[in-house]
Structure 1
Amino acid sequence: MQGNRRRDTTPELAVRRLVHRAGLRYRVDTRPIPTLNRRADLVFSRARVAVFIDGCFWHGCPAHGSIPRTNSAYWHPRIQGNVARDADTVARLQAGGWTVVRIWEHEDPVVAAGKILAVVLAAQRPQEGHAPP
């Protein structure tokens, strides 16, 4: 498991290139809420948007995730624990006023980047009835 990267994975780099090319700037592999020990792949601090690019195996993708036949007694609780932690992370970030975007590694990077752009740009727009700062 040492060979599994925490950041700069191929799907993450592809999405980051497209989002950066579109003109958005972000932090990489950082905690959206400093007191919460969870790291997002891309963090848009001003817009309060956290993006997670999840691997199908490690995060239990409903379309592509699978439990290995060898040592399944170990892997099943391990992957289910990751899924539960992901849900807890989303709940905690949303409670803290953040918008969470989850992308699967098998998603087309262009579509994923478009989804991120839409969410970040919507979060940056001034709300109706409020004057811009």
Structure 2
Amino acid sequence: MWKKAAREVTKKERTESNDVGKLRSRIMRAVGSKATSCERTVRDYLRPLGVRMRYNVASLPGKPDIVIPSLRFAIFVHGCFWHGHGCRRGARIPKTNAAYWTAKIARNRARDRRNAAALRRAGWSVVSIWECDSGRVRERKLKALRE
């Protein structure tokens, strides 16, 4: 997801830019939050099961990426960097403004926990799928839907 955004910043801009902060800001701003490739992969897995899905439901805590109302099932597809996953990509903190990023990711993780707890209290099942999950891991997590 971030690689595509980084490619959009031209090589000329990278070499001419004296302000690393502005360049990083432009790259981060270009990263999308809806219909990411990981979300589309999960949707493609669910579609043949014949379940009705809704996307980015704002009326639920945390605005889950994919919701299956009939099963009361909420799926969050998390980007490893933004949500502080323990993998190589998620554990990396940018060198510039490290204190800001550390605090931001900690806030994101706390918010994720609060939202998942609120959904569970309301009777929803919650699954988090990480950007780095291989196809097998995603499939194993999604098999819970069939049961």
Paired positions, count = 118
Please report the TM-score for the alignment, with normalisation by the length of structure 2: 0.73
Give the strand-richer structure, 1 or 2. Answer: 1
Residues 104-133 of structure 1, C-alpha deviations (whole Å, 9 max, x = no match) = 0011235414422x32233xxxxxxxxxxx
Return the match for 2:76 from 39, 42, 52: 52
Higher helix share: 2
Instruction: Select between 20-29 and 73-82 the one with higher mean Cα deviation.
Output: 20-29
Distance change >3 Å, CA 55–CA 112, structure 1 → 2: same
CA distance in 2, matches of 1:30, 1:5: 17
Larger C-alpha radius of gyration, 1 or 2? 2
The share of aligned pairs that are identical, in percent, is 36
CA distance in 2, matches of 1:48, 1:62: 28
Given the superposition, is the C-alpha separation of residues 58 and 35 from structure 1 closer, same or farther in structure 2, using an over 3 Å criterion?
closer
Runs of at least 5 residues in structure 1 that lack an aligned partner in the other structure: 123-133
> For residues 74-113 of structure 1, what are the structure 2 equivalents within 5 Å?
74-113=100-139
What is the alpha-carbon root mean square deviation over aligned residues? 1.6
* 1:120 counterpart letter in structure 2: L
Contact 1:15 1:110 in 2 (8 A): no
The 3-state SS of whatever aligns with 1:39 is coil
Task: Report the Cα distance in structure 2 between the residues aligned to 1:22 and 1:35, rounded to whole angstroms.
Answer: 23
Query: Normalising to structure 1: TM-score of the pair?
Result: 0.80
Structure 2 alignment gaps of length 5 or more: 1-27
